[in-house]
Amino acid sequence: MELEVASLALLCILFLIIALIYSSVGFGGGSSYLALLALMSVSFYAMRSLALVCNIVVVGGSVYWFLKNRHFKLSEFLPFVVTSVPMAFLGASYKLTEQVFFLVLGIVLVLVALILFWQTTHLEVLEREPIKTYPNWINYFLGGSIGLLSGLVGIGGGIFLAPVLYYLKWGPPTKIAALASFFILVNSISALSGLIYSDDFKISFGAAIFLGLSVFIGGQLGVRYSFKNLSSKTIRRLTALLVLIVGVRVLLINALAL
């Protein structure tokens, strides 16, 4: 995978912005990295590898911040990750054809866009409802199923897990954000290991260094200075619109060859 200098420079700027926005709410930005890489016609092996590396760089800082500020509840987070980690490894090590990969990716991007749109209209209402408790088997099931999907396409899965937990009223927003960060980190590491194990880890180290540095800067800014008060609803809607457009494009052009 070799990107032209202009394309790489543009990606660095966009990746920095994505990392800044997503890290402020506990996410890594993997779905949006994949969307942009798909627009740049990057190979599907390199797409997953790059997105996972960038995820790890971003959420590593988020997890550290949540630990430092004592928002981290490992005993409550473990039921999600004990099933998600092996399933993310299996998903990443499973050899998809290029057409099937883009079909799954397109569907995932469209779902992510719909989730983001949904959050802009329902999140404030859900946050006012009382916290509820659920049996651990639900946490195991959510972790495993989202982990498998995450490994297949090369994301951490927090973008799926967090909205479900908000809907279930599993915990306060800060706790859910902390779990999402940890969930993304361990799943991304597991999925990356799966790619290496299956010999599908394909990456340009030059591009990885520049993009990794960009998301590190954006992630550190975002996790320290929450941007939730800066037109969060508008940012989510614009991000959702971008991801939706790319998701439909991936389905029609890359997956179905229309």
CA distance 190 to 210: 23
**What is residue 146's predicted lDDT score, i.e. its pLDDT?**
94
What is the reported pLDDT for 95? 84
Cα 28 from Cα 156, distance rounded (Å):
7
pLDDT of residue 250: 82
User: Using one digit for the tens of pLDDT, what is the confidence trace for 131-149?
Assistant: 778 888 999 999 999 999 9
Tell me what pLDDT residue 150 has.
Answer: 92
> Is the pLDDT score of 177 beyond 60?
yes
Instruction: Give the model's pLDDT for residue 258.
Output: 67
Calpha distance 78→52 (Å, rounded) = 21
**The total number of structural domains that make up the chain:** 1
Per residue in 194-237, pLDDT tens? 999 998 898 888 889 999 999 999 998 887 776 555 455 666 67
Question: 131: which 2 tokens?
Answer: 């916290």
Nearest to 84 by CA among 27, 146, 30, 28: 146
- How much is the pLDDT for 125? 63
Q: What pLDDT sits at residue 230?
A: 47
| Residue 190: pLDDT over 80 | yes
* Residue 227 to residue 64: CA distance in whole angstroms: 18
Higher pLDDT, 28 or 243: 28
With a pLDDT cut of 90, the percent of the chain lying above it is 34
Say what the pLDDT of residue 189 is: 97
pTM of the model: 0.86
Which of residues 249 and 83 earns the better pLDDT score? 83
Separation between Cα atoms, residue 90 and residue 141, nearest integer Å: 16
In the chain, DSSP finds a helix count (H) and a strand count (E) of 10, 0
- Greatest distance between any 2 Cα atoms in the chain: 51
Q: 74-105: per-residue pLDDT in tens?
A: 888 999 999 999 999 999 999 888 888 889 88
Which residue from 127, 109, 107, 58 is spatially nearest to 239, judged by alpha carbons? Answer: 109
Tokens of 143: 């972790």
- For residue 116, give both structure tokens: 């983001």
Count Cβ atoms within 10 A of the Cβ of residue 253 and give its class: 0-12 exposed, 13-18 middle, 19 or more buried.
Answer: middle
Give the type of residue at 250.
Answer: V
Q: What is the 3-state secondary structure (H, E, C) of 121-143?
A: HHHHHHHCCCCCCCCHHHHHHHH
Mean residue pLDDT across the chain: 85
* Cβ proximity of 101 and 153 under 8 Å: yes
Per-residue pLDDT reduced to its tens digit, 16-43: 999 988 887 778 888 889 888 888 888 8
Tokens 């039921």, located at residue: 79
| Domain ranges, residue 21 | 5-255
Q: Is the pLDDT of residue 163 over 50?
A: yes
